[in-house]
Amino acid sequence: MTFTFRWRFRFYSTLQSRSFATYDPSKIRNMALVAHIDSGKTTLTESILFNSSYLSSSGSVDTGSTTTDFLPVERERGITVQSASIPVKWKDWIFNLIDTPGHADFGMEVESASRVIDGAVVLIDSVEGVEAQTKGVWRQLDRYHVPTRIMFLNKMDRPGASYKSSFLSLLSNRLHPHPMALTLPIASFDPHQYLRGEPGIQGLVDLIRWNIWKWDKEGQASCHPLPQIAEDLQTSDLLPPTHPIIPHIIPARTQLLENLSMFHEDLMEHLLNTPSGPSAYLDIDSRRIIQHLRASTLRGEVLPVLCGSAIKNIGTDLLMDYVGELLASPLDVSHPAQGRNPPVRLLAWKVNWDKKRGWMTFVRVYSGTLTRQSVILNTNRNQREKVSKLLLLYASDSQEVDELPFGSVGVILGLKYTRTGDTLVSLGGETNQRSAPRDITPPIAVISASVVPLSNSDLEPVQEALECLVRTDPSVRVDSQEGQILVHGLGALHLQVVEGRLRDEWNVKFEFGQRRVSYREGLGSGVPQIGWNVWQSDVGGKHTSVVVPLKVRPMQVEEKGDPTWDGSVVIDHQGNPLPAPEASSDTLLACVVDGLANALSNSPHSSLAMSRIHIQINPSDILQSIPPSLITGATATVLRKRVRDAGPGPLMEPYVFLKISVNESSLGKVIKDLIEHGGQVLDLGEGSAFGVDDSEEAAGFPTDNLYIPPQWLSPSGVNSFDASPSGGRLKCSVNAIAPLSRFFNYSNRLRAMSEGYGTFEMVNAGFKEVSDARRMDILREIGRA
């Protein structure tokens, strides 16, 4: 342990010694590792920390010794629950690296991290290829316009790993039309291993710099330049003369350069003027290639693809090199001009609670330089905040600094009002500096549980702890229904983590009730009474009558709901979406949206939250008619009256997409069980042909004019199939959609049906209307029938 901290101290000193006077934002890379669960993000983070000399030895997820998974629940379960930020120095670059969770229940962490990064490394398990949550995090990166990405095909050492199949899955799942392989794996330097189909990875060919990397049994890497004359490859001592990759690497480099030249006329002209022959493209300067490759990556024209094995530290060095060379810097994305003493502008992308430090606000600096003891304005809350300390956070460790310059990621201590997604600016800044980046989109909660304090004296601490928890995790929603405190989350695991955090971090005494699915109710079809939108009351002894300008209707099937409003749509008279109450900086507007939110949170017919309702309102008309103190009540009363007049509406329950892998002998039982529990089989076979909207996706991107790696590059992936430990029986995949309420404990059922060999993945599929029979079951379940 002492040796490890000595390495960390040296790393701290290196960063601290860097004068901010020579701070170069072009060398900063704000990036995240994102992927499907169990693809190796945390393991790759450990490998990066080890290769950058931050650690003297890599930690392990299995033993709970990793740097970024430091919470007790993370080390106990072996999964990442919250994003962890850590600066990494590599050569001339500083990577502000964020390790994110892969489980869908913690997708909010990926949402918040996507707000502040300029690039991402997307990992794929080379045995599984693109998976459900791979597409999920890719859509999150698209939603927040993350400009640059690199694909890393991990776990190439596993039996069944296939470079070609993983590469093709990028096209079949429509992640990018132009993936470009920058490295090729060498499974073994012994050609006979290819014939026997042995799994493994011992080396890499860098097609850009025209090098070959070797890793010995101790994990030590060595890099060797490849000959620039084609005939010399056969006589070089880098590879045996009979190695199958020798005749393949020159065509691979040739195809790479020709594909890249399709986006750069000057490169194409250079290639056309190069003398023909097998060695024609081998002496092209790698710096010239990287220059064009970086430009295409910044424009999103190509997707660089690398491969390796994070657990063996194979490919990590090359990945870090290309992260520095290709991913965007803060200067490569849209940003305010940084003249002399520019105004400060920050985004709070995460808020956390620490028992020793108090509230910790994670920020990205988009303009200016933030200093200690400065006073800034929270534009979302219209509150002044005092900065007490500034930190660079190294997972659970920290280092205090005097300033956070443009483009940096750090932590502020002492902020009282700031929440996730808030914009912070220097006092007296211009109005255009106060505009906020795209607001965060919290996933819709699908499961809930009651929180019961053990005694009356525990009620207030429990409520305060829940308020703090919501501040740290905006995907948690808390409300009261019929005297009960309900906490809503994104899944069963999410609620388990919430329960553990309440006990461990806030030390409150309570009991969790039975976990239940969060149902929704839509708007009924009844005609409202005349004058339903008139609010009447006595104000100061004077009768007041106000027409609240609401237009309310059910949403059409093709209309897309707003996650901010739990699947409903709330707009002003010009069609602009209204913010959630806590996100509004206008006090009067906040009163209007607060009234709408109160009315939608509890149906008068079923006490369920309302969804799929289209509401249009002109807030200014209300503001001119009644005092601000009455706006919330007037808006809520009128909307409740409209809902009551419409009568009971359709009920909706959350559905999930399931991908189930079982032995062929168990397939019949699994399908029968799915149908009996309200599920619907969408597809049989490898992978899923269906999207998150239950509609068949378009065909994958074509492979024309693309370099496709040969299958034999991964010997154990040739003609491979999933086999069970019970005798190599063929495994089948079932893609289905099913109600979440029937699949709470599906792991136990599947284990019994498949003799313990079945596995499944589950991803939220949104809410769907239920049948009349199912409606009665739900009403009886919630005590309304």
295: Cβ contacts below 8 Å, ≥ 6 apart:
263, 264
| pLDDT of 7 above 50 | no
Tokens (6 digits) for 712: 């034999």
Look up tokens 């962490």; give the residue: 109
pLDDT digits (tens, 9 = 90+) for 569-580: 999 989 999 887
**Residue 584 pLDDT grade (very low, low, confident, very high; cuts 50, 70, 90):** low
Q: What is the predicted pLDDT for the residue at 19?
A: 37
CA dihedral 239, 244, 250, 252 (to 10 degrees): -130
> What's the order of all strands across the beta sheet hosting 423-426?
383-386, 375-378, 423-426, 345-354, 358-367, 409-413, 389-394, 397-401
**Residue 592 pLDDT grade (very low, low, confident, very high; cuts 50, 70, 90):** confident
The architecture CATH gives domain 27-223+287-326: 3-Layer(aba) Sandwich (3.40)
pLDDT digits (tens, 9 = 90+) for 145-181: 999 999 999 999 999 999 999 999 999 999 999 999 9
| pLDDT of 650 above 90 | yes
CA dihedral 684, 688, 693, 698 (to 10 degrees): -110
Fold of 532-649: Ribosomal Protein S5; domain 2 (3.30.230)
Class of domain 345-433: mainly beta
Please name the amino acid found at residue 509: K
| pLDDT of 94 above 80 | yes
Q: What is the predicted pLDDT for the residue at 226?
A: 95
- The conformation of residue 714, written as its DSSP 8-state character, comes to S
Say what the pTM is.
Answer: 0.86
Q: Give backbone dihedrals phi and psi of 271, rounded to 5 degrees, phi first.
A: -65, -40
**Residue 20 pLDDT grade (very low, low, confident, very high; cuts 50, 70, 90):** very low
| pLDDT of 253 above 50 | yes
Q: What is the predicted pLDDT for the residue at 12?
A: 39
Same fold, 27-223+287-326 and 532-649: no
**Residue 13 pLDDT grade (very low, low, confident, very high; cuts 50, 70, 90):** very low
pLDDT digits (tens, 9 = 90+) for 603-613: 999 989 999 99
Q: What is the predicted pLDDT for the residue at 17?
A: 38
Q: What is the predicted pLDDT for the residue at 392?
A: 86
257-258-264 Cα angle (round to 5): 85
| pLDDT of 755 above 90 | no
- 3.30.9.10, 2.70.98.30, 3.30.70.870, 3.20.20.70: CATH of 447-518: 3.30.70.870
Q: Domain-by-domain residue ranges, the chain?
A: 27-223+287-326, 345-433, 447-518, 532-649, 652-691+727-782
Please name the amino acid found at residue 530: I
Fold of 652-691+727-782: Alpha-Beta Plaits (3.30.70)
Dihedral sign of CA atoms 120, 124, 130, 136 in order: negative
327-332-336 Cα angle (round to 5): 145
Q: What is the predicted pLDDT for the residue at 4?
A: 36
Helix (H), strand (E) at residue 469: helix 456-472
**Residue 482 pLDDT grade (very low, low, confident, very high; cuts 50, 70, 90):** confident
| pLDDT of 538 above 70 | yes
Question: Cα separation of 525 and 649, whole Å?
Answer: 7
